[in-house]
Amino acid sequence: MRVVEGVGMPEAGPGEVLVKVGAAGVNFADVMQTRGLYDGGLEVPYVAGFEAAGEVVDVGAEVHGISVGERVVGTGYGAFAEYMVMGAGNVARVPEGWRDEQALGLVLNWATALAALKPLGQVSAGQTVLVHAAAGAVGQAAVRLAKHYGATVIGTASADKHDVVRRLGADQVVDSRESDVASEVLRLTDGVGVDVVLESVGGETFAKSLEVAKRVTGKVVVYGVAGGEASVSNWELNFKHQIHVIGLHIGVLGQHAPEMFAELMAELDKLIEIGVYPPGEPTVYDLADGPKALAELETRATVGKIALKP
């Protein structure tokens, strides 16, 4: 990945808005895209980046309710750039008083964490939630949200990130690299396991997530594969893991369950208003340092949200 000039200005087509990028969000999806692991990903050469916040400078035909001059955060292709086009249906307004970079994560990280916990995980007060990668961008949102809904939260993270996870309100933090996560979580839950697992890691961790979900009622919401692919068989679901395994992709949710997505966005607005969802504090890199940012995300060296400034 490198900075190129003279690419030309993208144009807003019907149903799209053109945004002057104030800050672009770096997501694990960018790492996967770079490695050719993102389903339906782009072919090289392409302008990287899926998420940005900035000012609307043009609106295409058939766009209603968004005007030039408004600041929005949303998704599309080519976010690591000075200008990008977003589908008007994929944008939210930058909350009043927030800078562009502070709004990154609203439609990807926070919406994903909320979808995993509420409509899909159906978490309620008094339940226990296990959040993998709890110091990450989605993970931090999930810890805050789960605490707000009255759950007991167990987070996993690399040891040097445990303080961050504790400060967010997690009740327990388990070392994602050293400990036997499954035995540790079972020990912390008196052998019963947890009501909901937020599974973004996969690989060897997936089997541990299945093991610690409560028999019969426990749910494992799968929304990431940072540690690689893993599987569960029908035999295992029948005889070994009598639990619910639920898949989540926020883009597909927005497309196929638009009412649910609208409810998520309305709930996030409310959470912003009452301060449960505070302005983000991303680590900001120059656009030219994009490769460094991606490498750090890939090697588990980051905490929270990462942003690029064009």
**What are the residues binding ligand NAP (CB under 6 A)?**
27-29, 108-109, 112, 133, 135-139, 157-158, 161, 176, 200-201, 223-224, 226-227, 248-250, 297, 300, 302
Least Å from the CB of residue 32 to ligand NAP: 6
243 token code pair? 């639990």
Whole-number minimum distance, CB 302 to ligand NAP, in Å? 6
- Closest distance of CB 248 from ligand NAP, Å: 5
Q: Are 83 and 261 in contact (CB under 8 A)?
A: no
Distance (Å, rounded) from C-alpha 137 to C-alpha 142? 9
Nearer residue to ligand NAP within complex by CB, 204 or 273: 204
Place of tokens 């973004």: 200
Residue with Cβ nearer ligand NAP (54 or 139): 139
Q: Which is nearer to ligand NAP, 27 or 127 (CB)?
A: 27
In the bound state with ligand NAP, the residue whose beta carbon lies nearer, of 126 and 258, is 258
Residue nearest to ligand NAP (CB): 136
Of the pair 27, 189, the CB lying nearest ligand NAP is at: 27
Is residue 197 a contact partner of residue 212, using CB atoms and an 8 Å limit?
A: yes
Q: Could you give the residue ranges of the DSSP H alpha helices within the chain?
A: 28-34, 100-103, 111-115, 137-148, 162-167, 181-188, 204-212, 234-239, 250-256, 258-273, 290-298
Q: Output the smallest distance, CB 134 to ligand NAP, in A.
A: 7
- Tell me the closest approach of the beta carbon of residue 273 to ligand NAP, in angstroms: 23
Measuring CA to CA, how many Å separate 203 from each of 107, 217, 225? 26, 23, 7
